Amino acid sequence: MTNLGILFNELQVGADQEKLILTMGGHYSPDYPVDSVSKNFDWVHIQAYGYHTPLVDNLTAAHVALYDPSSPVNTDYGINEWIKRGLPASQLVLGLAYDRYAWTLVDPNDNGLGAPAKGVAIIDDGKVGYKHIKQYLRSYGVNSVFNSTYVMNYCVIGSFWIVFDDV
């Protein structure tokens, strides 16, 4: 981490000479030397997404959980960690997910958040476009469910469980 801090300092010197704005992409929770990041970058783009995917997780989950009462793997926790460790909130830029994911349920009757799943659904990587989700909802006459704890939507179509953000 010391060497990373030195690199950040060198980047800032070069950026100052060229009058550039430096932006760093950072994980939702800081695993960088925050004091050096704060001093040497104008912005930190927090990548607050991809917490859970059907390629990795065998339970349905919120891949962009704003909150998660059972885990620190959520956007609220990550942002507060960055601020607590010294990054001013004015330097944070929140990256929101464009991806939505579809899992295949083990048992379509057990279909809530945290239900057992056996991998991806619909497409090889499980990513489903918002337009397609809306089409599926209309075509199958299914309503999505809003989960106010995690601040996310999901729907179940047969054995498919799809998580997404909506208006």
Q: SS3 sequence, 7-55?
A: HHHHHHHHHHHHCCCCEEEEECCCCCCHHHHHHHCCEEEEECCCCCCCC
Asked if residue 90 lies in contact with residue 145, where contact means CB atoms within 8 angstroms, the answer is no
Answer yes or no: is pLDDT of 25 > 80: yes
pTM of the model: 0.82
d(CA 116, CA 118): 7
Residue-wise pLDDT for 61-109, tens only, equals: 998 889 999 999 999 999 999 999 999 999 999 987 767 999 999 999 9
Answer yes or no: is pLDDT of 4 > 80: no
What is the average pLDDT across 121-130? 89
> What does the mean pLDDT of the chain come to?
90
Residue-wise pLDDT for 30-51, tens only, equals: 888 899 999 999 999 998 888 9
166: three-class secondary structure by DSSP: coil
Name residue 103's beta-bridge partners. Answer: 120, 161
d(CA 51, CA 97): 10
Q: CA–CA distance from 66 to each of 56, 87, 121, 130, 149 (Å)? A: 20, 19, 24, 19, 8
